[in-house]
Structure 1
Amino acid sequence: MSSLPQLYQDLKRAFDARPTDLKKCGQLLAKLKVAVIENGLFPPRPEAKESDLIVARDILEIGAFWSIRSKDVPSFDRYFAQLQTFYTDYNAILPPSPREYPLRGLNLIRLLTQNRIADFHTTLEALPIDALHENPYIKHPVNLERWLMEGSYSKVWGAREEAPAEEYKFFVDSLIGTIRNEIASCEEAAYDSIPLKDAALLLFFTSRSDLMTFAQQRGWQISLVDEKIIFSRKGEEKAEIPKQKLILANLSYARELEQIV
Structure 2
Amino acid sequence: MSSQLPNLHKELIRAFTSHPSDLAATGKLLARLKIVLIDTDLLFPQPSSNPKELVVARDILEIGAFWSIRTRDVPSFDRYFSQLQTFYNDFNSVLPPSEREYPIRGLNLIRLLIQNRIADFHTTLESLPLPADELLNNPFIKHPVNLERWLMEGSYSKVWNAREEAPAEEYKFFVDSLMGTIRNEIASCEEAAYESLPLKDAATLLFFKTQSELLAFAKQRDWQVNLTQETITFTHKSEEKMEIPKDKLIANNLAYARELEQIV
Q: Tell me if 1:180 matches 2:183.
A: yes
Look up the match of 1:257.
Answer: none
Compare relative contact order (CA 8 Å, sep 6+) and give the higher one, 1 or 2. Answer: 2
Look up the match of 1:157.
Answer: 160
Cα distance in 1 for partners of 2:155, 2:238 equals 32
Identity of aligned residues (%): 70
Shift of 1:37: 1.4
Q: Tell me if 1:210 matches 2:213.
A: yes
Q: Tell me if 1:169 matches 2:172.
A: yes
Shift of 1:237: 9.5
* SS of aligned partner of 1:91: coil
Look up the match of 2:71.
Answer: 70
Look up the match of 1:32.
Answer: 33
Matching of residues 107-256 of structure 1 within 5 Å:
107-127=108-128, 128=130, 129-234=132-237, 236=239
* SS of aligned partner of 2:235: coil
Contact map agreement 1:102 1:137 (CA 8 A) in 2? yes
* SS of aligned partner of 1:98: coil
The one-letter code of the counterpart of 2:55 is I
Cα distance in 1 for partners of 2:72, 2:125 equals 24
Shift of 1:47: 2.8
Cα distance in 2 for partners of 1:124, 1:235 equals 40
The structure-2 alpha-carbon separation of the partners of 1:130 and 1:219, relative to structure 1 and needing over 3 Å to count, comes to: same
Cα RMSD for the two superposed structures: 1.5
The one-letter code of the counterpart of 1:23 is A
The one-letter code of the counterpart of 2:115 is Q
Shift of 1:213: 0.4
Cα distance in 1 for partners of 2:241, 2:91 equals 64
Look up the match of 2:258.
Answer: none
Shift of 1:236: 4.8
Shift of 1:204: 0.2
TM-score, reference length from structure 2? 0.88
TM-score, reference length from structure 1? 0.89
1:68-113 deviations in whole A, cap 9, x for unaligned? 0010000000000000001000000100000000000000000000
Structure 1 runs of 4+ off > 2 angstroms? 45-48, 233-239
Look up the match of 2:103.
Answer: 102
Q: Gaps spanning 5+ residues in structure 1: where?
A: 240-261
Shift of 1:132: 1.7
Cα distance in 2 for partners of 1:151, 1:237 equals 22
The worse-fitting range, judged by mean Cα deviation, of 155-164 and 130-139 is 130-139
Matching of residues 44-63 of structure 1 within 5 Å:
44-63=45-64
- Give the number of aligned pairs: 239
Contact map agreement 1:131 1:138 (CA 8 A) in 2? no
Look up the match of 1:252.
Answer: none
The structure-2 alpha-carbon separation of the partners of 1:163 and 1:237, relative to structure 1 and needing over 3 Å to count, comes to: closer
Q: Gaps spanning 5+ residues in structure 2: where?
A: 243-264
The one-letter code of the counterpart of 1:216 is K
Look up the match of 2:10.
Answer: 9
